[in-house]
């Protein structure tokens, strides 16, 4: 009995066009491009000069391929005021968000009900694979000297790195700045908060009782519960540049 091995094959590509570039011995006389169609056996037929339309299709194909390989991180219009730094070589963005309400989801073991709660202003640092997050005490745009506070959440290491657990993070290579930042904020707040990482308590007092109160009472986040780090915005940007 013969085995059907077609399922082991990858995507099959069939040749449809071939280009041949000619150059004269006298470089000053330029070059010439001839286009061939390919028959069902993969043999070149119907030779003809490359047309403007065919050249346009080739250019479009190359442009799309390049954009697929290279992250864009371009603004959809005027760059949003909350963007602090964009490093396209490292695919990294630094931005901040003002104090706001967010939906929260907690693992059953914490004893905290799911719901909406107020969060302080936040500073975000992300590339396509990882996220760091910190808290701010003001909604004003941060400066180099602005001190950073520990993000008052579960699942965050002492250095600000977020433990995403089993969250399947997929950031498009061609994401614009807004798509990039919106995706990361969504991944963070739509994941389940479950534990303190390495016994790091990010707030003054009991973290569980704090979030239980915030969910149940809808009060503003108490800034006096934030714990300052040893980093400022300037030190953070220097640190991220070395990563």
- Per-residue pLDDT, 106: 95
Rounded Cα distance between 122 and 131, Å, is 12
Please report the beta strands in 107-172, taking only residues with DSSP state E, as ranges in sequence order. Answer: 115-119, 121-126, 131-136, 147-150
> Does 27 share its domain with 102?
no
Instruction: With a cut of 70, say whether residue 221 has pLDDT above it.
Output: yes
> Does 219 share its domain with 171?
yes
What average pLDDT does this structure show over 72-77?
A: 66
> Does 149 share its domain with 193?
yes
Among the listed ranges 52-61, 70-79, 102-111, which one has the minimum average pLDDT value? 70-79
- Per-residue pLDDT, 61: 60
Please indicate, yes or no, if residue 144 is contained in any of the structural domains. Answer: yes
> Does 171 share its domain with 58?
no
- What's the total number of domains in the chain? 2
What average pLDDT does this structure show over 58-87?
A: 67
C-beta of residue 44 within 8 angstroms of C-beta of residue 36: yes
> Does 104 share its domain with 177?
yes
> Does 133 share its domain with 28?
no
C-beta of residue 175 within 8 angstroms of C-beta of residue 72: yes
> Does 65 share its domain with 90?
no
Q: Structure pTM? A: 0.69
For residue 98, name the pLDDT band (cuts at 50, 70, 90): very high
C-beta of residue 91 within 8 angstroms of C-beta of residue 127: yes
Please indicate, yes or no, if residue 232 is contained in any of the structural domains. Answer: yes
Two tokens, residue 35: 């286009």
What average pLDDT does this structure show over 27-32?
A: 62
> Based on the number of CB atoms within 10 Å of its own CB, is 56 exposed (0-12), middle (13-18) or buried (19 or more)?
exposed
> Does 63 share its domain with 126?
no
Please indicate, yes or no, if residue 216 is contained in any of the structural domains. Answer: yes
Please indicate, yes or no, if residue 123 is contained in any of the structural domains. Answer: yes
- Domain with 52, as residue range(s), is 10-69
- Per-residue pLDDT, 8: 41
> Does 122 share its domain with 14?
no
Please indicate, yes or no, if residue 76 is contained in any of the structural domains. Answer: no
Closest CA to 71 of 29, 5, 126, 116: 126
The pLDDT tens digits for 160-175 are 999 987 677 887 776 7
> Does 92 share its domain with 172?
yes
What average pLDDT does this structure show over 193-222?
A: 95
Instruction: With a cut of 50, say whether residue 216 has pLDDT above it.
Output: yes
The pLDDT tens digits for 105-155 are 999 989 999 999 999 999 999 998 899 999 999 999 999 999 999 999 999
For residue 60, name the pLDDT band (cuts at 50, 70, 90): low
Q: Which of 36, 69, 102 is the last residue of a domain?
A: 69
The pLDDT tens digits for 176-207 are 888 899 999 999 999 999 999 998 999 999 99
> Does 99 share its domain with 175?
yes
Please indicate, yes or no, if residue 75 is contained in any of the structural domains. Answer: no
Please indicate, yes or no, if residue 74 is contained in any of the structural domains. Answer: no
- Of 174 and 214, the one with more pLDDT: 214
Please indicate, yes or no, if residue 3 is contained in any of the structural domains. Answer: no
Two tokens, residue 76: 């959809």
C-beta of residue 173 within 8 angstroms of C-beta of residue 219: no
> Does 104 share its domain with 180?
yes
- Of 54 and 39, the one with more pLDDT: 39
* Sole residue written with tokens 């963007």: 83
Ranked by mean pLDDT, the top range of 26-30, 79-83, 114-118, 235-239 is 114-118
């Amino acid at each position: 009995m013969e085995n059907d091995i077609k399922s082991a094959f990858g995507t099959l590509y069939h040749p449809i066009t071939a280009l041949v570039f000619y150059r004269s011995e006298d470089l000053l006389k330029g070059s010439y491009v001839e286009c061939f169609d390919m028959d069902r056996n993969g043999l070149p037929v119907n030779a003809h000069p490359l047309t403007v339309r065919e050249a346009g299709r080739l250019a479009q194909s190359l442009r799309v391929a390049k954009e697929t390989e290279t992250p864009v991180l371009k603004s959809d219009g005027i760059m949003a005021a909350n963007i602090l730094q964009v490093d396209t070589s490292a695919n990294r963005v630094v931005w901040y968000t003002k104090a706001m309400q967010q939906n929260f989801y907690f693992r059953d073991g914490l004893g905290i009900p799911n719901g909406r709660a107020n969060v302080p202003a936040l500073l975000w640092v992300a590339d396509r694979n990882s996220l760091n997050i910190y808290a701010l005490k003001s909604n004003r745009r941060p400066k180099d000297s602005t001190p950073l506070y520990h993000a008052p959440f579960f699942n965050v290491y002492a250095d600000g790195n977020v433990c995403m657990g089993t969250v399947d993070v997929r950031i498009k290579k061609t994401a614009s700045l807004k798509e990039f930042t919106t995706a990361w904020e969504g991944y963070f707040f739509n994941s389940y908060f479950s534990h303190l990482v390495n016994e790091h308590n990010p707030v003054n007092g009991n973290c569980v009782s704090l979030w239980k109160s915030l969910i149940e009472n809808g009060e503003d986040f108490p800034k006096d519960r934030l714990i300052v780090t040893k980093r400022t915005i300037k030190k953070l940007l220097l640190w991220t540049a070395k990563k």
